[in-house]
Amino acid sequence: MMFAPLPAVSVVMAAYNRAHLIPEAIESLTRQTFSSWELIVVDDGSTDGTFEALSPWLEAYPAIRYMKHSNRKAPLSRNAGIQASFGRYVTFLDSDDIYLPDHLGSRMALMQSPGAPDLITGGFRCPAGTMVRDRHNPDKLIDVRQCILGGTFFGLREVFMDLEGFRGLDYAEDTDLWERAGEKWKKACIESPETYVYRQSPDSITLQYKQP
């Protein structure tokens, strides 16, 4: 029996009611110049036909896997994907964002360079003036470029497993993980190449978050 080789990169996508957006996100992954990847879609209890929107991709690409659980929010959904991953490296693609064609290839080149970090973030583009809620003061809006964007994380699977993934926070769980990673692991925040495209949808938690 022949077994397919393990992927180098596991891409984790948490999705909740994004049937109208997820096909474009997945299409951007299938157009990557780097081909040794798997995609793990974690459906966080969607009720809008997300599975039906995914079905053509699941049939066409054996490297795409689908899991569904009750609504647990993005941090714990990402953790489920990390646990199910087979790649040496783990990264993310939010269901309303897209990759440019050289995204995975450029990140792999960086991670395999001399003195490479264990975890990187950054290298994204977004519309000018894109604002998100401040982690410490949700009544204040700040430019997204001042933030750690979890979708751009690319690192050794070992890093995420060692940190036990994301904490179940209501907001800024990506910043929390980034700060914890710095206690043990080598990390780098990059500005280029800007190959991750951040697109803020109306239901984005970065806009809707309010402290209790």
The residue to which tokens 């994301």 are assigned: 166
Residue 212 has pLDDT above 70, yes or no: no
Contact call for residues 42 and 70 (beta carbons, < 8 A): no
Q: How many CB atoms lie within 10 A of CB 3?
A: 5
The predicted pLDDT at position 209 comes to 40
| CA–CA dist 112, 132 (Å, integer) | 33
Distances (CA, A) of 6 to 3, 11, 130: 9, 13, 37
149-182 exposure pattern, b = at least 16 Cβ within 10 A, e = fewer: bbbbbbbbbebbeebebbeeeebbbbbbbbebbe
For the question of whether the overall pTM of this predicted structure is more than 0.85, the answer is: yes
The reply to whether CATH 1.10.238.10 applies to domain 9-208 is no
What's the chain's length in residues?
212
Residue 124 has pLDDT above 50, yes or no: yes
Residue 32 has pLDDT above 90, yes or no: yes
Share of the chain above pLDDT 70, in %: 92
pLDDT tens string 37-69: 999 999 999 999 999 999 999 999 999 999 999
